């Protein structure tokens, strides 16, 4: 058989194979990848036909197109096997392979008789693609496949090996004018190998598709049998459930009948119990319709007895009762009263409502909404209690009149006392001014006499002592008069304050300097704790200085000689706490409030000098600043005075 006949036979078989694949793809169930195989067989048939019609020497177009179609057939065969095995491959692989092959075959076909480059290129691509297809056939191979796919893989390996050997042979020996003038028998084997390969591919691929169909059919058959068995089990369970449900329905029917009898009995008992209550009792449902009421309730609202039947709306009962004059308090504003009563009823939370009826009786109404939305209510007759309340109200009104009368008398007495107090203040002011002028003269002459008596020419020591006593007495008298004058000014509201920011530490230091001579006379130690910096008072610094001098003088006066006095300054938020603590006899707790009154003296003062004005004076000054003064027992005995003026 010559080469031409072999080529025609190969083309015919390829065409027949493509027809078989096309019919199978269009009429039978196929799996993913079968369509690529059909396209591969069709391209192989086209390539074979182009080989048959090739001229000698062949044209460049025939060479490029025929070889490209054959290589494309092997590419599609490879992709179909990958898809058939469930793997995904990018189309870029096929495009890259085909683009490189078309470029290479186009270049090597420029000389139609130059086969030494074209044949190795074709054989190399075919060999690599067939070997890749063989590997894809064996990878991820299902266990239910027979030996057909193995046979296909072996045959692909044979084709691949043969193609690679052919490429190496041509590249190594480079025969001249091959295949036109040398070794025609080699081409017969090549064409024969191609014919056999196509038959093997067709039979194997169709067999693999059939095996997979048979496996899926068997799996579907087994699944169907399992479904049938499962359905029979379900039907048996349904029969059991149906019998159980019938028994349960019968049981529930008997229980329902028993419950119905029990409910009727309970309802009868409830009605009897409600009717035995000596208070009016009623229940309205969630739509505000009367559900039940007892006989006491009907007797209570005798005017509306005919309306008190189950199903009547509460609003209708009220409106009809108003129309019949049952609610006297509703007559002045019917709609307003009705709106308020309905709101109280619908917002029932146990509140108590008093209601007067047309026959003069008073009722105490208590209503409560139940968790299910019903409204239960009580009506208690409180007529007797209401009459007692009215009598009590009359007595209370009479008592109120007496209280107002006594209050008016007390106000008149208070005004008289205030007038007397003002007269006293006026008197103190006048007498203070009358005493101040001669007191200045005493101080001036006493100071002059003290100065003269200190000279060398007047050796009389007794004269010096007299003048010294005159000055001391006059000074104490001036202090008392100044205290009286300051207190009277505060009471009369004539004291002016020069308010400005003041440094409490500086105020304390100035007060300490002014009483330093008193501290040295009694050898009293002054203990000052650390003072906070940057804290200012909104005050009259001179007045607050007077307060601190009075507190310190008071502490020195009652402290034993040689004892300490502690001064501290604490930032207490909105106020500053100025504390002075001594070791004196202390102040009993019962006297701590009254010592701040005018002319008040504590029991511990004994015969100590003073009129009891300084504490009253400093209290008034601190109060005018918006602060407070307190006294307590010291940590080691004695007293602790705490002055709290506000900060800036």
Element (H, E) at 292: strand 290-293
Quote the pLDDT of residue 205. Answer: 65
Work out the angle at residue 16's Cα, subtended by the Cα atoms of residues 12 and 22, and round it to the nearest 5 degrees. 145
CB 362 within 8 A of CB 356: yes
Longest dimension (CA), the chain: 178
- The residue that leads in pLDDT, 342 or 530, is 342
Domains of the chain: residue spans and CATH: 3-227 (1.20.1070), 280-381 (3.30.450), 498-644 (3.30.565.10)
Averaged pLDDT, 31-51: 73
Lowest mean pLDDT among 53-67, 436-450, 539-553: 436-450
* Per-residue confidence (pLDDT) for residue 283, from 0 to 100: 92
Q: Is the pLDDT of residue 251 over 80?
A: yes
60 pLDDT above the threshold of 80: yes
Question: If pLDDT is split at 50, 70 and 90, which confidence band does 10 have?
Answer: low
Going by C-alpha positions, the residue among 55, 76, 69, 137 that lies closest to residue 101 is: 69
- At 392-412, the pLDDT tens digits run 888 888 888 888 888 888 888
- Closest by CA position to 367, among listed 287, 310, 271, 284: 284
Residue 373 neighbours by CB distance under 10 Å: 11
Res 320 pLDDT > 60 = yes
d(CA 431, CA 28): 138
| Mean pLDDT value of segment 190-213 | 63
DSSP for 126-194 reads HHHHHHHHHHHHHTT--TT--SHHHHHHHHHHHHHHHHHHHHHHHHHH--TTTTTSS-HHHHHHHHHHH
pLDDT for 311: 92
| Residue the block writes with tokens 């101040």 | 436
255-296 pLDDT per residue, tens: 888 888 888 888 788 777 887 888 889 999 989 999 889 888
Both tokens assigned to 429: 């002011």
**Six token digits for residue 389:** 């309340």
pLDDT in tens, 576-611: 888 999 988 888 877 777 676 655 555 555 434 444
> Mean per-residue pLDDT for 562-588?
88
Q: How far apart are CA 593 and CA 487, in angstroms?
A: 19
d(CA 628, CA 612): 19
196-200, 353-357, 406-410, 559-563 — which is least confidently predicted? 196-200
Which percentage of the chain shows pLDDT scores above 90? 7
Which residue did the predictor score with more confidence, 313 or 259? Answer: 313
Strands (DSSP E) found in 520-574 = 525-528, 537-539, 564-572
Task: Say how far apart CA 608 and CA 82 lie, in whole Å.
Answer: 122
pLDDT for residue 406: 86
pTM: 0.34
User: Is residue 484 over pLDDT 70?
Assistant: no
pLDDT, tens only, 426-458: 546 555 655 555 566 566 666 666 666 665 555
Q: What integer is the mean pLDDT of 190-199?
A: 60
Buried b (16+ CB within 10 A) or exposed e, 34-68: bebbbbbbbbbbbbbbbbeeeeeebeeebbbbbbb
Separation CA 254–CA 621 (nearest Å): 93
pLDDT-based confidence at residue 144 (cuts at 50, 70, 90): low
Between 445 and 319, residue with greater pLDDT = 319
């Amino acid at each position: 058989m010559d080469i031409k006949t072999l080529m025609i036979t190969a083309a015919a078989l390829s065409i027949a194979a493509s027809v078989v694949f096309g019919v199978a793809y269009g009429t039978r169930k196929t799996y993913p990848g079968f369509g690529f195989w059909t396209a591969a067989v069709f391209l192989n048939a086209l390539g074979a036909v182009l080989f048959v019609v090739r001229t000698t020497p062949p044209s460049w177009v025939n060479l490029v197109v025929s070889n490209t179609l054959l290589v494309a057939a092997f590419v599609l065969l490879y992709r179909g096997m990958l898809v058939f095995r469930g793997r995904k491959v990018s189309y870029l692989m096929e495009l890259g392979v085909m683009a490189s092959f078309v470029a290479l075959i186009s270049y090597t076909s420029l000389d139609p008789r130059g086969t030494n480059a074209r044949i190795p290129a074709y054989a190399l691509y075919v060999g690599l693609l067939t070997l890749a297809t063989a590997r894809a056939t064996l990878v991820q191979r299902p266990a239910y496949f027979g030996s057909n796919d193995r046979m296909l893989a072996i045959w692909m390996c044979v084709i691949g090996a043969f193609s690679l050997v052919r490429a190496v042979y041509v590249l190594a020996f480079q025969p001249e004018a091959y295949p036109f003038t040398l070794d025609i028998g080699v081409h017969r084997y090549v064409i024969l190998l191609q014919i056999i390969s196509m038959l093997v591919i067709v039979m194997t691929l169709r067999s693999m598709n059939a095996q997979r169909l048979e496996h899926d059919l068997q799996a579907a058959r087994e699944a169907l049998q399992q479904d049938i068995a499962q359905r029979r089990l379900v039907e048996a369970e349904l029969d059991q459930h149906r019998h159980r449900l019938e028994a349960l329905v019968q049981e529930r029917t008997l229980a329902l009948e028993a419950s119905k009898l029990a409910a009727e009995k309970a309802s009868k008992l409830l009605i009897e119990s409600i009717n035995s209550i000596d208070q009016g009792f009623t229940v309205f449902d969630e739509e505000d319709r009367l559900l039940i009421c007892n006989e006491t309730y009907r007797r209570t609202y005798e005017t509306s007895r005919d309306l008190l039947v189950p199903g009547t709306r509460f609003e209708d009962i009220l409106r009809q009762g108003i129309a019949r004059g049952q609610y006297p308090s509703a007559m002045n504003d019917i709609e307003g009263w009705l709106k308020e009563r309905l709101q109280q009823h619908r917002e029932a939370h146990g509140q108590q409502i008093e209601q007067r009826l047309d026959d003069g009786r008073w009722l105490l109404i208590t209503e409560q909404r139940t968790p299910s939305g019903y409204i239960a209510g009580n009506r208690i007759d409180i007529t007797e209690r209401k009459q007692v309340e009215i009598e009590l109200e009359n007595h209370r009104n009479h008592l109120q009149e007496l209280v107002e009368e006594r209050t008016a008398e007390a106000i008149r007495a208070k005004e008289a006392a205030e007038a007397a107090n003002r007269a006293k203040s006026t008197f103190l002011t006048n007498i203070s001014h009358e005493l101040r002028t001669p007191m200045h003269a005493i101080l001036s002459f006493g100071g002059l006499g003290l100065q003269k008596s200190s000279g060398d020419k007047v050796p009389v020591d007794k004269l010096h002592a007299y003048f010294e006593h005159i000055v001391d007495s006059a000074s104490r008298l001036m202090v008392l008069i100044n205290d009286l004058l300051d207190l009277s000014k505060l009471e009369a509201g004539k004291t002016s304050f020069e308010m400005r920011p003041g440094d409490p530490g500086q105020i304390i230091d100035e007060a300490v300097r002014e009483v330093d001579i008193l501290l040295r006379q009694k050898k009293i130690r002054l203990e000052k704790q650390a003072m906070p910096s940057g804290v200012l008072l909104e005050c009259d610094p001179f007045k607050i200085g007077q307060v601190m001098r009075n507190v310190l003088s008071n502490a020195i006066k009652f402290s034993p000689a040689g004892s300490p006095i502690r001064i501290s300054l604490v930032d207490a938020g909105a106020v500053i706490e100025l504390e002075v603590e001594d070791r004196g006899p202390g102040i009993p707790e019962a006297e701590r409030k009254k010592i701040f009154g005018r002319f008040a003296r504590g029991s511990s003062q004994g015969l100590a000098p003073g009129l009891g004005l300084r504490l009253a004076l400093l209290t008034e000054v601190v109060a005018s600043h918006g602060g407070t003064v307190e006294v307590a027992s010291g940590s080691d005995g004695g007293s602790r005075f705490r002055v709290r003026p506000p900060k800036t």
